[in-house]
Amino acid sequence: MTSKETTSKETTVDVSIKAAGYLGARSALSYDRLEQGEYRADTIFKKAYSWPGDWEGRIMLALAMLERATGRQPLYLEEMLDAVGGHLNEKGYFGNMYPAGELDEQQLSGHSWFLRAMCEIYETNGDGRALHHIQNIVRELLLPAAGYYRTYPVERNGRVLEGEAIGEPTGERIGSWYPSTDVGCAFILLDGATHAYRVLRCPELRELIDEMIDVFQAIDWTGQSFQTHATLSAARGILRHYESTEEPALLRLALSIYGLYVREGMTENYANYNWFGRPEWTEPCAVVDSFLLAKALWKHTGEIRYLEDAQSILYNGLSYGQRPNGGFGCDCCAGAKDAYLSPRRDLFEAYWCCSMRGGDGLAQAVLSLYAAEDRTVTLPLYNDSAFSADWADGGRLSLEQKTAYPFEGNVRLRVNEACGAAAVRLRLYVPSWCGEREAELLVNGRPVAYSIADGFAVLTRVWLAGDTIEFRFPVTLRAEAPRNDRHGGYGRVIRHGVLVLGAAGSGARVHLAALRHIGPAVYKSEEDGAVFAPLTELTGMSESDAMEDRRRVLFEIHA
């Protein structure tokens, strides 16, 4: 992956990241899945489809992000871009052309993903085809919706509050709207609309976005059983609009939405309820949303708890949702109705949405491995990888990383290239659960002093080619209370560092002192022989074994 990052001092940094190890393997598996038959240019465009633009947008977004993250050129993305025009209506968007004043919320939702794909492609390489579609969809589909979001039907007595994994139109019109069983999905459009605004800076589009946000923030999301995917996508759009406008109220709103989600919509393996108040299954689409939202909240607040939430979501919720074939599927909501986690057999792979969003999420995890700003390089997430940063003044730093994280607390960096006389500051993430002063930092085999700031070990020096940096911290076993306010009756979660542990065949009562460490993040009970292991291993199973997986994740803990 290569990209340009502009710092607050307008200093351009060319950044390159190449991931191997855990994220490299997961991303490659996802990429392979997304180039199979369902995701080719001759199959992605749907003629009779109640989510116009959705499938098309999700797959193009996933492929564009995976290409950026891995450097691997997609087999079919270029063909898809060439074919788009032949599948649009006379006004240049997907689906029906409704009379003025009639809006299909699934059509608006689906086009959010198509806008996101076009914006990512345009911002990466300036593709004129993508810009044309952004401009046309904003003009012909989005701007005519102005004024009508204020009439969006949210009251329970006016909505169908039951639905399947694939949301469908309810079959009735309420005012100006044709609503969906995915309650609130019209506000997914905030994600695509705010990205389009960042590209176009269209004043009329900003007015529509402001209207959507005004309406959205006044809704009782839990009381109206809003879809968490819709709520989190909207929150990501609100946060992107904060980046464009620098209005502090938007950051506060995004923080509020995320906090509500954690308290009332998150499972104990950091996945989601599909709807607030209706814990029927998880949806990796929303898990990806929560990962990206938590990561962005850390960026804007500097509060380490949001970064640690992002890591927990990635390693527990999203990882368990990935299937042996590389796709993603739905699970039961651990903690909502009992203490167990297992895949939903009937939704084992949600290939129509979650497999595509999972690819986007893994790609963005790779892109998050390093950040370069001014003369600072930050490592918020550890993974085997190679990194280089080239500053506009000719300075260059190239690193190679080897690590056993998240299973063990060791990170080794080698400086392969170092050009320029200026010192570079390294910031290395220090897990809050290990204690700031329990970490050890060595340079060229010798311990060195370092400072701690905002959850990071900080070391500044002029680096030389051949320098080695070793960062070590303990990863221990601990128990934590449930995060979701509704899960208090089933016990506590057992964790090895960032990893949530589950056990098949274990009883509810566990003595932590009886758990013996027998492998990387794996423990065995001396009392009943139950094995406690991370929730990351479905990709290594056969499909039949993965489908039958069932583990307890909440326990009555005794010392």
Has residue 293 been placed in a domain? no
E strand spans, 179-258 = none
Has residue 482 been placed in a domain? yes
Q: What's the rounded Cα separation, in Å, for the pair 133 and 115?
A: 8
Write the CATH number for 398: 2.60.40.1180
- 417 plus 551 within the same structural domain: no
Q: Is the peptide bond before 447 cis (omega within 30 degrees of 0)?
A: no
- 538 plus 413 within the same structural domain: no
| Cβ–Cβ under 8 Å, residues 61 and 124 | no
- 466 plus 487 within the same structural domain: no
How many Cβ atoms are within 10 Å of 254's Cβ, its own excluded?
25
- 513 plus 392 within the same structural domain: no
Say whether pLDDT at 285 is over 60.
yes
- 450 plus 485 within the same structural domain: no
- 447 plus 504 within the same structural domain: no
Has residue 443 been placed in a domain? yes
Q: Could you say which of 219, 240, 258 is where a domain stops?
A: 219
Has residue 550 been placed in a domain? yes
What are 382-434's pLDDT values in tens digits? 999 999 999 998 899 999 999 999 999 999 999 999 998 789 999 999 999 98
Q: What's the rounded Cα separation, in Å, for the pair 200 and 19?
A: 33
Q: Could you say which of 422, 448, 472 is where a domain stops?
A: 472
Q: What's the rounded Cα separation, in Å, for the pair 399 and 415?
A: 5
What are 30-80's pLDDT values in tens digits? 999 999 999 999 999 988 889 999 999 999 999 999 999 999 999 999 999
Range of the domain at 215: 36-219
- 131 plus 211 within the same structural domain: yes
pTM: 0.95
Closest listed residue to residue 493, CA positions, set 344, 335, 337, 338: 335
Secondary structure of residue 63 in the 3-state scheme:
helix
Has residue 303 been placed in a domain? no
| Cβ–Cβ under 8 Å, residues 109 and 57 | no
pLDDT > 90 in the chain, percent: 88
Q: What is the DSSP letter of 83?
A: H
Q: Give the model's pLDDT for residue 4.
A: 46
Burial 514-528 (b: 16+ CB within 10 A, else e): ebeeeeebbbbbeee
- 539 plus 447 within the same structural domain: no
Average per-residue pLDDT for the chain: 94
List residues bridging with 551 in a β-sheet.
341
What are 420-471's pLDDT values in tens digits? 878 999 999 999 998 777 899 999 999 999 999 999 999 999 999 999 999 9
Helix-, strand-, coil-residue percentages of the chain, each rounded to 5: 40, 20, 35
- 395 plus 498 within the same structural domain: no
The number of folded domains in the chain is 3
Has residue 258 been placed in a domain? no
H or E, element range at 116: helix 105-125
- 513 plus 461 within the same structural domain: no
pLDDT > 70 in the chain, percent: 96
- 459 plus 483 within the same structural domain: no
Say whether pLDDT at 158 is over 70.
no
Angle between helices 284-301 and 304-312 (to 10 degrees): 160
- 62 plus 169 within the same structural domain: yes
Confidence of residue 6 (pLDDT cuts 50, 70, 90): very low
Has residue 253 been placed in a domain? no
| Cβ–Cβ under 8 Å, residues 476 and 454 | no
Q: Could you say which of 179, 200, 219 is where a domain stops?
A: 219
Has residue 359 been placed in a domain? no
